[in-house]
Structure 1
């Protein structure tokens, strides 16, 4: 065992671990406790080390090596592992961009702006979204957003900014939250939520849609980041009140209204 470990560039402890978990069996164990490895075991160790270099978990390596003597299982496993690594790289790229944004804003003496458009539906809020609406909801909305090109993201954000700015205009024009203008825009706002896959509004789930909109209305009203996004604290609170009224009016027959 010691000779094999030295030639393979690994430790004897690693070989013992592989034996203990059933990944690499020695040909025989002597009466003195020494482990002896023949040509087949050395060949298997070579494949283990090659697959380990890809970052594949040992449990998956065992599955590949034990499934079949053909290369098909190994190819399939490597393909799946490659896809997993690509997803990890994409997630890392998104985190890098987030840190770069935060760093840039800090250097300018400004607070990093919350991603208003996808509040509750991006990487930073993954745990909350999964807890409230499930893993499928987070994955759908997250993949939808990150599947957009930079230009498409900019266009969508521009529409979102216009949506929020309209609330300020309606307030400045002297309309009340229960006015036709305010409630028409509240309906537009609800339709906007429906564009995001994974949201209860997109799925037409009435009860969860009402819960989501009320939760976001609370955020609009209390979170300073949203006050900035709406232009003023008053506009954010006005929008929150109008949206609450909108969903309250929809509740008796909201199944049709929220599905559109």
Structure 2
């Protein structure tokens, strides 16, 4: 090994991924090693590491491998692409800091026996924080409509909207803990609540009812995107998978 490249094991360990994942990226043409040693080991140089960093950033946005490949091919200026990622990360860092302050203020109010202030409770819980991602996935018009719709809601309406989703997730967690099947009557009733909740924002932003393809796509996103999966799995490991399977069953049978 030269001083200018690193073995697949070193990169997997440093990047928090696995050698198997890196080999898969190679197999699908997403990330080629800079060279392969006589021992058959893959080695990666600095440009390959920059590409891997971009891949991992895009993966954290919830994009699948085909979408990641398309994004990499469409923006070959790495400095510009990473600059956009950096801006998003800084926005996310600032949003999380605001959430910390908001939640701490709520805890303080509850400890003192006073009522939390609605206008400050949801600082940082901004529906538009993924506007760039929405635009990338579904287009600028959908992103703009989504932003206008959320901004038009009052604080109490936003609170009710978020609480509804929280309650659905909690009930899915209970169903998962009870071992209920995705196609059971109880879980399908939860799936209908989930889809009805989605329809509120979807119809406001797209002007059209939910389609089977849209619901199935979101169902997979809930399980595949670490952010969504972690949100649902707070209610119990496996909840995200149950949500996905239940939504797919509902979409196939009722949409």
Greater Cα radius of gyration, structure 1 or 2: 1
TM-score of the superposition, structure 1-length normalised? 0.45
